[in-house]
Amino acid sequence: MQQKIDILSLTLQDLQQQLLSQGQKKFRAIQIFEWLHQKLIFSFEEMSNLSKHMQVQLNQQYVIAPMRMVQELISMEDRTRKYLFELIDGNVIESVFMPYQHGNSVCISSQVGCKMGCTFCASGLDGFFRNLSASEMLLQVYHIAKHTGERISNVTVMGTGEPLDNYEELLTFIRILTSTEGYQLSGRNITVSTCGIPPKIRQLAEEKLQITLALSLHGATQEKRRVLMPIANRYELSEVMEACEYYFSKTGRRMSYEYSLVHGVNDTEEDAVELIQLLKGRNCHLNLIPVNPVTELSYQRPNRTTSLTFKNKLEKSGINVTIRREMGTDIDGACGQLRRSFHQDNTTTIVH
């Protein structure tokens, strides 16, 4: 029996080629693509400008991969919403909706589990299972948009997983999300976060996309990164930074650096001095992120005074720096926490 094609993972050009080879008119692909990616309709029967015969044909040849929301947590502090979605194979992934004055942002996962093993993060505690398809990445955005009734204006691929470890599906996801016939999200409103895989960063630079690339730095020296990030055992920090400079030179897009502040580990005055030496003179923005405590891990966030002192020292040296607003701390805000609690709690309420 022929396996059905995942239609949500097809770019418009791919869908057009598929339908043309089946004797359909080219405009049909645009109609279907708009139903899927503009109107967010995930049933061929609801595509009212298609004939019943064509709806039957589509059902025979294509599948719209199901994704079910199994849990929603809403922060009482800042209206952040955290979602747990069940995939077709029973795996679960998490996504976050964050309302800001400048627009609504969604943070999505790119993998089920994570193989990077950062020592302060819950995402990889249960190991790595598989990559997400482009459609599974898109559906996180689309389901949250439909559920909240809100237009999503910014997307960050910064949840569970290493996006550049799922490179081809990531590219397809970006191309579909930014398509003028689709959701029409500006590439400038997409941020992709990576632990730092130089060959993939350079490959991404050649795509000349207008997305923002964010490097999870977390340590200003090779030695400090090794403590927090096993990926540093494979790639030298100098090699990673050279790849980031290459990305900037090819795209003109300012680099963003993420630095999780961990109490007593990387928040000292010496750490600030090393960070200044690393970033001074670079066209970049630094996000300081007081780490979200994870029950299974020993790391703690620094207090507000320590975080501000660290930030001020960087600012005085000319570094463009902000402390990221803490959101969702009362709803298992850290990556991977909700998914782990779901597996550990068989009494979770299912939301239909």
* Active site residues per annotation: 94, 335
CA quadruple 294, 88, 167, 156: dihedral, nearest 10: -50
Angle at 277 between CA 271 and CA 283, to 5 degrees: 115
- Comparing C-alpha atoms, which of 217, 191, 213 is closest to residue 204? 213
- Whether 103 and 118 have beta carbons less than 8 Å apart is answered as no
CA quadruple 70, 76, 77, 83: dihedral, nearest 10: 10
CA distance 88 to 82: 20
CA distance 107 to 257: 17
- Whether 345 and 312 have beta carbons less than 8 Å apart is answered as no
CA distance 154 to 156: 7
- Whether 314 and 276 have beta carbons less than 8 Å apart is answered as yes
Any alpha helices (H) in the chain, and if so which ranges?
12-21, 26-37, 52-61, 134-148, 167-177, 198-207, 222-228, 237-251, 269-279, 304-316, 337-344
- Whether 102 and 162 have beta carbons less than 8 Å apart is answered as no
- Whether 6 and 63 have beta carbons less than 8 Å apart is answered as yes
Contacts of 6 (CB under 8 A, 6+ apart): 62, 63, 65, 133, 135
**Side chain identity at 127, as an amino acid letter?**
G
Angle at 272 between CA 269 and CA 275, to 5 degrees: 155
| Dihedral angle sign, alpha carbons of residues 154, 160, 162, 164 | negative
